Structure 1
Amino acid sequence: MDKNELNEEEMRIWHMWKGSFQSIFGRVIKEMSEHTGLSEGDYGVLDRLDLLGNGSLRQQELADSMNWDKSRLSHHLTRMEKRRLVMRKPLDTDRGVQVVITPAGKSALDDARPIVSKAIRKHFLDQLTDQDVESITKLAERTKSGSSASCEAPST
């Protein structure tokens, strides 16, 4: 077997890890969406605008923080503008665009945060032992250095 290939046990562990994450993440997003009408992307945009930019960020900074390309973010922001969650305004100094959370967007984010927190606690944190937390923390710290992970949407 090639040293770069995964054996059956390694592949099984990978699929278990990936499946667990997707299942938990999916349940958190489902609860948030059902209660707020926000999508995963909506929450990610609003959360980053609030936490990283104190209410506004350059569009390129926002795209970078979400690990989205400019086109994907631009289309998503257009949909969010129609719902009055954000607005875009050109910067005076250059060709950049500033994305600003609106009062409606801030209100939607404030309404969503406790729902997201409760869902994360219910579907993830309440399932963990102290030893699990220690193991996950060690694993995250060890693997973080090998990736270029940004804060991933929806900050959950």
Structure 2
Amino acid sequence: MKIWHMWKGTFHTIFGRVVKEMSDHTGLSESDFGILDRLILLGEGKLRQQELADSMDWDKSRLSHHLKRMEKRELVVRNPLDTDRGVQVEITSEGKLALDNARPFLFKAIRKHFFEQLTDQDIEVITKLAERTKEDL
């Protein structure tokens, strides 16, 4: 349990530092970034709201409230789908610009707070562990 708690604590510390640094420079929260990033990576700029919720492991209500706040900031728009009762979420040009501006800060923070702390041997061990544990999923 000691190793488990140490692992979780380390992850949360690094993750928190990375998110804070990105947010301080861009004004995007981790959730904002996650939504915008998924819209581009998974849907070429647009996804059904339910697909987006599933990809983030969020319930429909949580995502809906967050998207409402993002719409007010003109980062995304939601449009009803003609074919059914679904809703499509689309990144706006402002959202794309915010994402593009955030990525360099995120990458720099990940490098600073994670990769620069590791040796080549550490990276090899972490990679092997990630590959081995991924197989169980």
TM-score of the aligned structures, taking structure 1 as reference length: 0.86
The partner residue of 1:133 within 123, 126, 136 is: 123
* Residue 20 of structure 1: aligned partner: 10
Shift of 1:145: 2.9
More helix by share: 2
Q: Unaligned regions of 5+ residues in structure 1, if any?
A: 1-10, 148-156
Shift of 1:116: 0.1
**Identity over aligned residues, as a percent?**
77
* Residue 86 of structure 2: aligned partner: 96
Structure 2 matches for 1:101-120, cutoff 5 A?
101-120=91-110
Structure 2 matches for 1:6-85, cutoff 5 A?
11-85=1-75
| Alignment partners' CA distance in 2, 1:67 and 1:142 | 23
SS at match of 1:99: strand
Q: Unaligned regions of 5+ residues in structure 2, if any?
A: none
TM-score of the aligned structures, taking structure 2 as reference length: 0.97
Deviations, residues 88-116 of structure 1 (Å, cap 9, x unaligned): 00111111110000000000000000000
Over 6 Å off, 4+ runs:
none
* Residue 6 of structure 1: aligned partner: none
| Alignment partners' CA distance in 1, 2:8 and 2:70 | 30
Provide the aligned C-alpha RMSD in A: 0.8
What is the aligned residue count?
137
